[in-house]
Amino acid sequence: MSEYVEHSPSGTSVGRVEKQFFTFAADEPLLVESGRSLGPVTLAYETYGRLNASATNAVLVLHALTGDSHAAGYYETSDSKPGWWDLMIGPGKPLDTDRYFIICSNVVGGCMGTTGPASVDPATGRPYGLSFPVITVGDMVQAQKCLIDHLGVGRLLSVVGGSMGGMQVLEWSVRYPDMVRSAVPLATTTKHSALAIAFNEVARQAIMADPAWNGGDYYDGEQPAHGLAVARMIGHITYLSDEAMRQKFDRRLQDRCEISFAFEEADFQVESYLRYQGQKFVDRFDANSFLYVTKAADYFNLESSHGCGSAVAAFAKAQCRFLVASFSSDWLYPTYQSRAMVQAMKKNGLDVSFVELEAKWGHDAFLLPNARLSGMIARFLDRAAADAAKEDARAL
């Protein structure tokens, strides 16, 4: 997930919002898939809109790799940018806060207010560092389930997310099928390809090769800023497409008319852009958290975890309807991966809508304005809400 933050061409902002915190697993630690336990656990989250009296209008939005709980609105009116999906969330937008109660939480292992490797280990009084347990997408979802229970939501109208957020959507649909009425996985996959794992491993090695990383124990001293910046540069390349790079930069020089014949200078605009993105990332993200969340994405394998190696068997557990969207220029999670999951869903007789959207901006296209995607999500949620109302009426 890159630094794209766009305003919606229609609708209005949710305005000023506040980050909230939920702490649990103090008396009974959270057992994670590695076999270790973790507690207490704090989740940072935000909500937009109001939960209705019957608690049937809740939509859980799940963020991508380096996202956070700040999905919409502003903390202060002076903020230069809104939340990362402000174009989708708000009054009159596809995730309409006049109708739906939107929830977004930061994942376990992150560094935006949720318990992660930078958090203090109560057993030692020092940051966990690498003593923090390796976590999975399943662990992230298990923690989110505790938050949803805490908020008094028995069943989610929908779970929506792109990239690693889409992985969480898929995990929700098969781990807690009774709690999910509908699901919208965008630009995602049921398991990482060797190519995706390779890019993540190179990024992790860049961090661990930084002398300041110090085996993950750097919180009292210099941060592994250079390694983390390089890791971000590597990741950022995968979020774009060849056409996006060509149109945005091509071989244009940065603030010069001739090449410098030097290594310290950024000759090309694309070099300057990547350096800027790397440095900006260092200012907001923890290097160890980057190791943990990329490893969680690499470990994600829905068919292995829930279907003994079969995607069809994994989706046999799901009960909800799906809207699956891929993007034509996404080479990180290409369309063939979305088609494979759709086929597995359909073999189980699930109600599935699928679209490959033409988009030139690569993997990050789900973060950018797209009228067709916005319309599809809005109509999909309309249908889910109407069907939920009918179900509830029959239950009376």
Does residue 4 have a pLDDT over 70? Answer: no
- In terms of phi and psi (left: phi > 0; alpha: psi -120 to 50; beta: otherwise), the region of 38 is beta
Instruction: Find the catalytic residue in 2, 163, 173, 305.
Output: 163
Provide the CA 91 distance to its chain's centre, in angstroms: 22
**Could you tell me which of 45, 39, 38 has the C-alpha nearest to residue 22?**
45
Whether residue 179 contacts residue 154, with contact meaning beta carbons closer than 8 Å, is answered with yes
Domain map of the chain by residue range?
Answer: 20-191+302-395
Residues 127, 118 contacting (CB under 8 angstroms): yes
Tens of pLDDT, residues 173-228: 999 999 999 999 999 999 999 999 999 999 999 999 999 999 999 999 999 999 99
DSSP 138-179: HHHHHHHHHHHHHTT-SSBSEEEEETHHHHHHHHHHHHSGGG
- Dist. CA 32–CA 110, nearest whole Å: 15
The domain defined by 20-191+302-395 folds into Rossmann fold (3.40.50)
For residue 376, the one-letter residue type is: M
Task: Label residue 80 by pLDDT band (50, 70, 90).
Answer: confident
Asked whether residue 364 is marked as a ligand-binding residue, the answer is: yes
User: What pLDDT is attached to residue 77?
Assistant: 82
| Residue tagged active-site, from 86, 96, 210, 330 | 330
Query: Whole-prediction pTM value?
Result: 0.96
Residue 209: name the closest of 237, 229, 194 by CA: 229
- Ramachandran angles phi, psi of 367, nearest 5°: -90, -5
The string of pLDDT tens digits covering residues 120-179 is 999 999 999 999 999 999 999 999 999 999 999 999 999 999 999 999 999 999 999 999
Answer for the pair 178, 319: CB distance below 8 angstroms, yes or no.
Answer: yes
User: Among 228, 275, 280, which Cα is nearest to 80's?
Assistant: 280
The pair of three-digit structure tokens given for residue 96, joined into one six-digit string = 């309409």
Q: Are 23 and 44 in contact (CB under 8 A)?
A: no
**Is position 382 annotated as part of the catalytic site?**
no
Give per-residue burial for 262-274: e unless 16+ CB within 10 Å, then b: eeeebbbbbebbb
- Whether 255 is catalytic: no
Is 232 annotated as ligand-binding? yes
Q: What is the pLDDT of residues 88-99, one digit of tens each?
A: 999 999 999 999
Does the annotation mark 298 as catalytic? Answer: no
For the chain, the average pLDDT equals 95
pLDDT in tens, 282-306: 999 999 999 999 999 999 999 999 9
Taking the C-alpha atoms of residue 368 and residue 34, their distance in angstroms, rounded to an integer, is 36
DSSP state letters, 233-265: HHHHHHHS-HHHHHHHTTT-BSS-SS--S-SSS
pLDDT value, residue 260: 87
Query: Within its chain, how far is the Cα of 287 from the centroid?
Result: 17
